[in-house]
Amino acid sequence: MGRLFKKSKGRGEIIMMPYSDKVMEHFRNPRNVGEISDANGVGEVGNPKCGDIMKIYLKVEDNIIKDVKFKTFGCGSAIASSSMATELIKGKTLEEAWELSNKAVADALDGLPPVKMHCSVLAEEAIHKAINDYRESIGLEPWEMKVHSDHIHDEVHG
């Protein structure tokens, strides 16, 4: 079990949160980091409470995600969730990628602490926004996005 340290707000104390080895690996060595200059689908989401911002870039050809990259400003869980999510959708059809849930991202990371599950929700929603951006760019209607019952973040406008 890896550990990341988090400084508690206002009290100066340091709290250790247990993270799986997979979370630590994707945090330390994230996959698919960067931008795609000729991306044809881009999705950006953020959580104003914790400051995480996640941007997903897709290169779609013949309904297949040929390349995917991300840029995330945030905690270790947000970076690990972005990294794992991009690994899980690369080479998939848009329909398969749309079905990727935040739970599947968290499960692929061997779990996230409950207070960090919102990071996997951000990854799911950034992918959905990128897919809808692509669909709209080719004249198709966007697919309906799932609203999470614990909707603890808002879209980033920019």
Catalytic residues: 50, 119
DSSP string for the chain: -EEEEEEPTTT--EEEEEE-HHHHHHHHS-SSBS--TT-SEEEEEEETTTTEEEEEEEEEETTEEEEEEEEEES-HHHHHHHHHHHHHHTT-BHHHHHT--HHHHHHHTT---GGGHHHHHHHHHHHHHHHHHHHHHTTPPPPPPPPPTT---BPPP-
